[in-house]
């Protein structure tokens, strides 16, 4: 969530920035009207609350006098005071009705402003290039040289189908389109990739291995920005029955539970940077544009990912972003997979990101680079939604943390890249050296 003062102080300027960088249309006039109503109602509500409080205090004072007057035998004056009490009570009742109406209207307007604020994307960092879509992304560097093949290159679907390793038809019978069954040595290779990534990030990169739920509540989804904007992209279920029933969401990425571990909390400075890694199932109801990547494992409703999340001080988040991206790059380099790093433009970044690097791996069957990791610095955008803060010096005022997340990396897409880049003429697949300890020493699967 953006700083609310940006909406309150100059909605027209904010609307201009959002339109220029994100192509987002914000109705500044509507915001201004709502804000004017809110201010007027807030002033009147406070006036009514003060009137109610002062009149209630006067009632208490008069009733105290009544007791003393009766004790002194001044019944006439006591009766006069009681009459004044009744008059003030009637006046307070009138205040109460108006106050109740005013508070309800104020809550409604605040709700409308909050709904608008929750729907606003993060503002890009000044270093992010302005662009409408992926064509505006800027390549930063490349690593590795794509392999030259002296035989006809097969895609990962054909390589998997030849050995019965990858079965989309069986998955479709079980679950529908965009699911896959893996068998035998390919399933083991998939598991080996996840184990290798976790070991690398935990043992060498200093991330704390964390196991998280894949079902979370709406508050967690709202905290990282999936709700309310992306409700249609999520799988959900209802837990419990009757009045106790509540909606739960299957996570689209472990970023959601990992980042929310600091929600509604104040983290001590000594705990920062907080680095966490998790291997989890991920679920996305909208798995990409229809008609694209319908074959195989590129776009799935269910997939696995090793996710990296960092929580930092604001002044450290830019350096942490570079470090996190470098950790993801190391995965691809250890696997021997050619890749390139792309700085995403304003129009291609995710909703919560202020700056994003995508890593794209080379796929021989497509003769192009495809996304395999996305590393984003969200600044204080998620922290403000989650009320996640840190405290520096003892007694200092809590400040919002910065949150970052990145794929370290997508396991299924890494499997696709290993299969295609490591394929041999006979259909076997060379196992990268770093994975062989996880594969019982196998140098190839066939």
Structure confidence by residue, pLDDT tens digits, 119-153? 999 999 999 999 999 999 999 999 999 999 999 99
Under DSSP, the state recorded for 243 is G
What is the reported pLDDT for 58?
74
Residue 75: per-residue pLDDT: 81
Lowest mean pLDDT among 9-23, 59-73, 344-358: 59-73
Radius of gyration, alpha carbons of the chain: 30
248 forms beta bridges with 237
- Whether 112 contacts 31, CB under 8 Å: no
How far apart CA 280 and CA 302 sit, in angstroms, is 10
Mean local confidence (pLDDT), 347-357:
97
Task: Write the CB contacts of 379 (distance below 8 Å, at least 6 apart in sequence).
Answer: 122, 125, 314, 317, 354, 402, 403
**Residue 207, pLDDT above cutoff 70:** yes
Contact in structure between 331 and 414 (CB atoms under 8 Å): yes
As annotated, the binding site for ATP includes: 284-286, 371-374
| Each residue's pLDDT tens digit, 368-417 | 999 999 999 999 999 999 999 999 877 789 999 999 999 999 999 999 99
Burial class (CB in 10 A: 0-12, 13-18, 19+), 444: middle
| Sheet with strand 138-143: strands edge to edge | 138-143, 339-343, 355-363, 368-377, 402-410, 302-312, 274-283, 208-209
Catalytic (active site) residue 374: yes
Give yes or no for residue 86 having a pLDDT over 80: no
Rounded-to-integer distance, Cα 61 and Cα 81, Å: 10
Q: Which of 384, 385, 412, 414 is nearest to 399 (CA)?
A: 384
pLDDT over 60 (residue 158): yes
Residue 292 has pLDDT above 70, yes or no: no
What rounded mean pLDDT belongs to the chain? 93
- Residues 290-317, mean pLDDT to the nearest whole number: 89
- What pLDDT shows up at residue 289? 52
Query: What pLDDT score does 243 carry?
Result: 86
Q: Is residue 371 flagged as an active site residue?
A: yes
Q: Residue 275 — pLDDT band, cuts 50, 70, 90?
A: very high
CA-angle at 402, arms to 396 and 403, nearest 5°? 140
CA distance 307 to 253: 7
For the chain, what percent of residues have pLDDT higher than 90? 80
pLDDT at 87 > cutoff 80: no
The burial of 146, by beta-carbon neighbours within 10 Å (0-12 exposed, 13-18 middle, 19 or more buried), is given as middle
Tokens of 327: 């950790």
Is a pLDDT exceeding 60 seen at residue 84? yes
pLDDT of residue 287: 55
pTM value is 0.90
209 counts as catalytic? no
- Catalytic, out of 222, 374, 376, 385: 374
* Catalytic member of 105, 371, 391, 436: 371
Binding residues: 253-255, 284-286, 307, 371-374, 407
Work out the percent of the chain whose per-residue pLDDT is above 70: 98
Please identify which of the residues 38, 275, 299, 389 carries the catalytic annotation. Answer: 299
Residue of 22, 38, 284, 384 marked catalytic? 284
Q: pLDDT at residue 291 above 70?
A: no
As a whole number, mean pLDDT of residues 254-282 equals: 97
Q: Is the dihedral of CA 429, 435, 438, 440 positive or negative?
A: positive
Q: Tally Cβ neighbours within 10 Å of residue 255.
A: 30
Going by the annotation, the residues of the binding site for L-serine are: 253-255, 307, 407
**CA-to-CA distance for 367 and 362, rounded, in angstroms?**
7
Q: Active site includes 284?
A: yes
Of the candidates 38, 188, 222, 413, the residue annotated as catalytic is: 413
Q: According to the model, what pLDDT value does residue 232 have?
A: 92
The helix/strand/coil state of 237 is: strand
Work out the burial of residue 238: count CB atoms within 10 Å of its CB; fewer than 13 is exposed, 13-18 middle, 19 or more buried: exposed
Instruction: Give the C-alpha separation, 220 to 199, whole Å.
Output: 27
Q: Say if residue 288's pLDDT is above 60.
A: no
Stretch among 1-5, 53-57, 310-314 having the lowest mean pLDDT: 53-57
The predicted pLDDT at position 56 comes to: 75
Q: For position 77, what pLDDT does the model report?
A: 79
CA–CA distance, 285 with 252 (Å, rounded to integer): 9
pLDDT score recorded for residue 353: 98
């Amino acid at each position: 969530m953006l700083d609310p003062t940006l909406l309150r102080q100059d909605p027209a300027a904010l609307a201009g920035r959002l339109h220029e960088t994100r192509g987002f249309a914000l109705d500044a006039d509507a915001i201004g009207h709502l804000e004017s109503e809110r201010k007027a109602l807030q002033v009147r509500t406070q006036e009514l609350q003060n009137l109610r409080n002062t009149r209630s205090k006067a009632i208490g004072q008069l009733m105290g006098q009544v007791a003393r007057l009766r004790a002194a035998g001044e019944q006439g004056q006591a009766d006069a005071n009681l009459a004044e009490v009744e008059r003030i009570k009637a006046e307070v009742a009138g205040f109460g009705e108006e106050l109740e109406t005013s508070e309800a209207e104020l809550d409604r307007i605040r709700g409308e402003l909050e709904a608008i604020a929750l729907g606003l994307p993060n503002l890009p960092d000044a270093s992010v290039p302005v662009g409408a879509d992926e064509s505006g992304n800027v390549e930063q560097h490349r690593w590795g040289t794509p392999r030259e093949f002296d035989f006809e290159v097969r895609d990962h679907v054909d390589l998997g189908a030849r050995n019965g390793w990858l079965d989309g038809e069986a998955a479709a019978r079980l679950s529908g389109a965009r699911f896959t069954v893996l068998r035998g040595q390919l399933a083991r290779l998939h598991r080996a990739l996840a184990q290798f990534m976790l070991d690398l990030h935990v043992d060498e990169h200093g991330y704390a291995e964390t196991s998280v739920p894949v079902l979370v509540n709406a508050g967690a989804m709202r905290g990282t920005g999936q709700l309310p904007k992306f409700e249609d992209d999520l799988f959900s279920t209802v837990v419990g029955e009757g009045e106790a029933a509540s909606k739960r969401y299957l996570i689209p990425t472990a970023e959601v539970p990992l980042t929310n571990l600091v929600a509604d909390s104040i983290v001590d400075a000594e705990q920062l940077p907080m680095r966490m890694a998790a291997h989890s199932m991920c679920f996305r109801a909208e798995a990409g544009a229809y008609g694209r990547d319908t074959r195989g494992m590129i776009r799935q409703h269910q997939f696995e990912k090793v996710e990296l999340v960092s929580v930092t001080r604001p002044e450290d988040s830019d350096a942490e972003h570079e470090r996190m991206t470098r950790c993801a790059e190391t995965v691809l380099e250890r696997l021997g997979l050619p890749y390139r790093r792309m700085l995403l433009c304003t129009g291609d970044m995710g909703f919560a990101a202020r700056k994003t690097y995508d890593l794209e791996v080379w796929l021989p069957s497509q003769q192009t680079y495809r996304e395999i990791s996305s590393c984003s610095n969200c600044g204080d955008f998620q922290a403000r939604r989650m009320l996640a803060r840190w405290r520096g010096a003892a007694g200092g005022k809590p400040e919002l943390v910065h949150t970052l997340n990145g794929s370290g990396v997508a396991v299924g897409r890494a499997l696709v890249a290993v299969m295609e880049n490591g394929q041999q003429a006979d259909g076997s697949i060379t196992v990268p050296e770093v994975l062989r300890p996880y594969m019982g020493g196998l140098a190839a699967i066939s």
